[in-house]
Structures are given as structure tokens and as C-alpha cells.
Amino acid sequence: MPHLVILYSGNLDRDLDMAAVCRGLADAMLSVRDDEGKSVFPLGGTRVLAYPAPYFAVSDGGQAGCAAGESGDYGFMYLNLRMARGRSEAVQRRVGQAVSEAARDLLGPLKQTRRVGLTFQVDVGAEVYDAKFGNLHDLFQKEVR
């Protein structure tokens, strides 16, 4: 953990380099420091995953856009950052601000070319069960930060 999951309308693929968006958001997450100056998130546990929705309905289906002389080809993107509890509210806000700022920068050009609904939420809810059994973290255990 943390995992940033992006669900977006598939029509955005033609106007967006989603791999670059994912990398930029991951870098933003990894740049956040706690009050002691340590990275908030583990390098090996930081993940950004994006899933295009091939089927979707957005708003009024484009009627208002067409009436305004635009294409009416709306899009959406929902970003949900899930991180484990244990971080102060100030650190959680810092993370939210860093990711939000990066998303605004990365998605700014998209907003210049089309109408798109963007939502970003940070989820620090209760964990019912949490198991980690991969081997990616082992690679970074020797790294000094």
C-alpha cells in the first residue's frame, strides 16, 4: 500500500498518455515526506493502476455540450487513493494535496480539449484484513533513504 486506482472513460485514451499520468502520480506520491523528512510511502509498495471503462454514460450524453457548440463527447476520471491508517491527518492532507496538484498539472491539457468530470478521493478506512506476500519489497529493503 498505497494504491491509487484510476477508473476512466475509455474515450480519454485517444487524448491522454495514461502511462505518463500513472508515472507522474506515482512520483508525486513518492515525493511526499512526513514530519521527520522520511518518505510517507514505501517505494516497493506504491502502485498506480488505471482501468478504462469501455462502456459508460456521462451526464446528459452530450446534449448541453452540443447545444454550446462543442462536441458533446464527455469523459470522466475517478482517482481513489487507498492508504493504510497510521499517518497523521496532516500527512494525509499533504498526500492529498501533492497528488491533487500533480493530477491537475497532468490533466490540465485534457481539460483544454474536452469536457471531463474529475474526482479524487483519499480512503483511509478500516482494514478488515490485509495480507502482503509478494517479493517486490525485498528489492528495496537494502536501499538507504
Q: What pLDDT, in 10s, does the model give residues 81-112?
A: 999 888 999 999 999 999 999 999 999 999 99
Grid coordinates in use for 63?
A: 446534449
Domain residues of the chain, as ranges? 3-126
CATH 3.20.20.70 fits 3-126, yes or no: no
pLDDT, residue 142, reads: 64
Q: Helices 18-31 and 89-113, interaxial angle, to 10°?
A: 160
Q: What pLDDT, in 10s, does the model give residues 8-66?
A: 999 999 999 999 999 999 999 999 999 999 999 999 999 999 999 999 999 999 999 99
pLDDT, residue 145, reads: 47
